[in-house]
Chains A and B, each alone.
Chain A
Amino acid sequence: MDFKLTKEQELIQKAAREFAEKSIMPIAEQIDRDNFVPQEIFDEMGELGFFGLQFPEEDGGTGAGYSCYPLVVEQIARASSGVAMTFSVHSLGTSAIYTFGTPEQKARYMPDASSGKKLSSFAFTEPATGSDPKQITTTAVQDGDYYIINGTKRFISAADLDGPIVIFAKDDETGKPTAFIVDKNCPGYSVSEPWHKIGNRGGRLLDVYLKDVRVPAANLLGPKGNGYMVLQYGIAFGKVGVSSTALGGMQAALELSIKYAKEKAHRDSTIAKFPTTQVTIAKIAEKVEAARWLTYRLGYLAESTKDLREFAKEAALTKAFVTEAAVDVSRMAVAVHGSYGLMDDYKVSMIYRDAIIGEQIEGVNDMQRMIVAGNLLS
């Protein structure tokens, strides 16, 4: 068993850290305040090859493999969870196209998605349902070689940025969810203003309105009526990104806590001398390390898995543990900072707001546990 990164993985991780420290960290507060990531950030990530990390060269990717993906997302999230969230959801949509797409669909969408010229989205959630496939109301009615899609999708990442969006709708033949690849901003496609959410700001969520959107039948993703499979397994890959995003925030929380503890004076010493501070920082470190290795392992499994159902269980288990640990860690990091940790002036308060998001997105954590238990008890 070898936990050592290869030299290539080490260099990719280092490249991500240098990029994040140089280009994202100086504007992280601005991204949080404005709920907006400047396009130059995505352009630079594309030039560095980050968007195509986990995809093979023949599909426009770098061929570095999924194992490298958590290394990069973690470093970007260490600077800004908002940037990492957009990156993560882009990977979710692109992975779904890569995993379930036909050769023609991959040829059309993968190169631009892998290079970051186009950013992918993934749209299942609706105003009335977040996870239950039976409850979706978006419809797809066949009209010759096209489907006409109508409905509303809620909380969709990067819905206003050019690129493909994987949309789930009940088709009129099976009455079950079916996945379609739709070009964002096509006729009949419109979006709301971004939601003002508590954390991961910059990773913008919008509602998507679909009014008589005509989609070629060739854009069906996976078999008709099998949208649930695309959702279940596509989103399993998305959990690598969610876990890595949470991990990056945790690492930042640990670093900030150590720095603050060593600097915050109390009488003739610093608060690092307090046993309570020491215990808190040790607890933070325990969770960060446990989360790190679970997340890196999930990246490895995403690359090597032959059994999607087994992978979905591991993804659920990892996502639930890591995002919950991130909330614990950021809460403890705020505690190390005392009242200062509650202030916007201190980055740890942003990390706490960011961490809370992870537990709720891409399937709430209790649902992850249902997936794990369903697998273990079957």
Chain B
Amino acid sequence: MNIYVCVKQTVDLQQVRIRKETREPVLDGVPLTIGNIDKNALEEGVRLRDKLGGKVIGVSAGSEELNDTIKEALAMGADEAIMIIAPELEGAESSTVAMALAKAIEKTGEIGIILLGEGSSDNYSGQVGPRIAEILDLPQITYVSSLEAEGNTVKAVRNLEDCFETVEAEMPVVVSVVSEINEPRIPAVTQILKAGRKPKQIYSPAELGVEIAGSQIKTISNLAPEQDRKRLLFQEGVGQDVKSLVAALESEGLLGR
């Protein structure tokens, strides 16, 4: 059984600084990595493979640097990788990326499960998974916090914030996971060193019949939230100050929710 895990190349968010004057993120020189929730999807794929057999195939679309970035997915346990590489795929909108990923998966073999993170670490639009399911006409289960597979059936628990929902579906199926589903493993040194020697298949968008149209999405703002202090001072004595503090917190919507 093929377990496809879609991963996205993003900047390492832990190493992004915010320029204080403009609140813009400083991305120059920040190493590229695969997204955090993608690692949860990958971990789940590796666990399923260890239980059910088959192969875990990492799938990703992006720029030339992906050749290097994908090693992280291979080090974490993917058996092989499929990449769609073109400069214009870096930062491409979800519809284009979903089409590229779906076509690459469709081209390369029999589908068991397609796993994704619920949203990417950088934009978190959460669109790629559902779009892949639509393109390939497959059932999809989103917000998955627990996943089991037996025979040809998957059973998933969906975390819907105010309740949990347990659902079943027949394979092939698209499953997008939330971060609490597992704790991704730290790759061992030997796995990291073997990653570069695992099989990799590279496609261009043209080979998959994917056309990359101009972007229909315009980013209006990408700034860090302001974190100014309120600088409220209460100096009327403890009795009054506590009341004033409570009133101030309530007025900010921080109490009594």
Contact = CB atoms under 8 A, between A and B. Distances in A.
Interface of A: 7-8, 10-12, 14-15, 18-19, 22, 47-50, 52-53, 62-64, 68, 268
B188 A7 contact: no
B54 interface: no
A49 B192 CA distance: 10
Contact of B193 (A22, A48, A62, A268): A62
Contacts of A11: 71-72, 75, 187, 192, 195
B186 A50 contact: no
Interface residues of B, number: 17
Most buried by A among B31, B33, B75, B193: B193
A63 B193 contact: yes
Nearest to B67: A7
Contacts of B190: 49, 62
A22 B72 CA distance: 19
Contacts of A47: 188
Interface in B221-235: 231
Contacts of B75: 11
Contact of B192 (A8, A18, A22, A52): A8
Contacts of A8: 71, 192-193, 195-196
Tell me the dominant secondary structure on chain A's binding face: helix
B189 interface: yes
A142 B69 CA distance: 58
B68 interface: yes
Given A8-B192, A48-B188, A53-B189, 16 more contacts: A7-B68, A7-B69, A7-B71, A8-B193, A11-B71, A11-B192, A12-B192, A15-B188, A15-B189, A18-B186, A48-B186, A50-B189, A62-B193, A64-B189, A68-B189, A268-B231
B189 A49 contact: yes
Given A8-B193, A8-B196, A63-B193, A19 B71 contact: no
Contacts of B186: 15, 18-19, 22, 48
Interface in B62-107: 68-69, 71-72, 75
